[in-house]
Amino acid sequence: MGKGFTLAIYPWVYHAKYGPDRTWSEEFLEKPHKTPEEEADLSPEELDTLLQKRNSFPELPLVNYTTQYGLGCFEGLKAFPQPDGTLSIFRPGENGKRMAKSMEGLNMPPFPPEMFLRACREVVRKNKALGFVPAYDPEWAKDGFVSGHSVYIRPFSYSEPAIGVSLSTNPWVVIVTTPVGSYFRPGNAKAVTTDKARATPNGTGWIKCSANYVIPALAKKEAEDAGYMEAIFLDALERTYIEEGSSCNIFFYMKNGTLVTPELGDTILPGINRNSVITLAMKSGVTTEERKISIQEAMEDAEEAFVTGTAVGVSYIESITHQGKTAVFGDGTMGELTLTLQRTLKGIQYGSLEDNHGWMVPV
């Protein structure tokens, strides 16, 4: 996964707890820290000790439905440095709505989207006030902000104490933030289909459920060990139709000029970057379809392929290998449409292009 995620939690974190009175109580907690400059001067051992303290939550129970059975959900969103020194979060309202739907799908009381939005903005603001924020670098624009840094925001649910198999009725919602850079390793954009099934009909594939990421992590590791960047999942029943990448939605630009992405259902996560790319493509006049697409059709008729997600942004796929056969898209480099969509999305996020959609929310 390259150098994307770093477990260097920023000092301010957020807790909300659903109580017996059916209301949410919330608090911001300031974890142990020094100034960013002082922390940069610490030895690796000293910094690791400090970061371990920030990643310690003794007020939360260790044994519960989340740790024992994976009963939990989470979100991932980013705050992007802007040229004027401010920060803006990309479409946090959509993450808040999805988090509430995920919790409802797990039969939990949903966290109100308006509380989600307010908490995300405030926890980023509090950390920025301490200096824990990447500074905007004009050099990022030279590669279309592929090398840009941002603040990763990770809200997640966490259940009350428990050991028997059951459901959570009084969960916590916790929000932490970390620095994040580029997700994929440069120089390898090859994908391979996996025999593993990410999700089954009538399951939790549409929920951003913690347990859903175990199989993709295994499949991605297998793909990387075999020399590929990404694993591609097919549907669980017919093993014919493409569904997702290991942790991202997938698109194909067909030779007839149509952009195709698998239609949403209960086995595919409704990605926010997915939705954004569809909007950008349609606004630019590209015919866009959400429908089933078989692995055979993609390998025979697509001239570009790319994946989307909070971590990956828009990242091109050079080729897909399936059952020993490999299809290379175009000339094996990033295609024109993929590049346009990537640079448009990142340009909006980093403030170099006008946001005509109301996607960026100032901190």
Mean pLDDT across the chain, nearest whole number? 96
Q: How far apart are CA 234 and CA 147, in angstroms?
A: 31
Per-residue pLDDT tens over the stretch 235-275: 999 999 999 999 899 999 999 999 999 999 999 999 999 99
Sorted by where each begins, the domain ranges of the chain are: 12-180, 190-349
What is the value of pTM for the model shown?
Answer: 0.95
CATH of domain 190-349: 3.20.10.10
Query: Under the phi-then-psi rule, with left for phi > 0, alpha for psi from -120 to 50, and beta for the rest, what region is 355?
Result: beta
pLDDT at 124 over 90: yes
What is the per-residue pLDDT for 7?
Answer: 87
Place 4 in a pLDDT band, splitting at 50, 70 and 90: low
Whether the CB-CB separation of 145 and 346 falls below 8 Å is answered with yes
- Kind of pairing, strands 230-234 and 190-193? parallel
Domain 12-180 is in which class?
alpha beta
- Residue 292: φ, ψ to 5°: -65, 140
- Nearest Cα to Cα of residue 271 among 299, 249, 293, 297: 249
Is the C-alpha dihedral spanning 337, 351, 150, 278 positive or negative? negative
Place 2 in a pLDDT band, splitting at 50, 70 and 90: very low
What is the per-residue pLDDT for 1?
Answer: 35
Q: How far apart are CA 334 and CA 189, in angstroms?
A: 9
What is the per-residue pLDDT for 314?
Answer: 95
3-class DSSP state of 125: helix
Whether the CB-CB separation of 235 and 243 falls below 8 Å is answered with yes
- Kind of pairing, strands 360-362 and 87-90? antiparallel
Identify the helix (H) or strand (E) that includes residue 157.
Answer: strand 150-158
- Nearest Cα to Cα of residue 252 among 285, 310, 199, 292: 292
pLDDT at 222 over 90: yes
- Nearest Cα to Cα of residue 65 among 106, 102, 100: 106
Q: How far apart are CA 88 and CA 347, in angstroms?
A: 13
What is the per-residue pLDDT for 184?
Answer: 55
Whether the CB-CB separation of 202 and 267 falls below 8 Å is answered with no
Question: How many H helices and E strands in the chain?
Answer: 9, 17
pLDDT at 3 over 60: no
Per-residue pLDDT tens over the stretch 156-192: 999 999 999 999 999 999 999 999 987 656 678 999 9
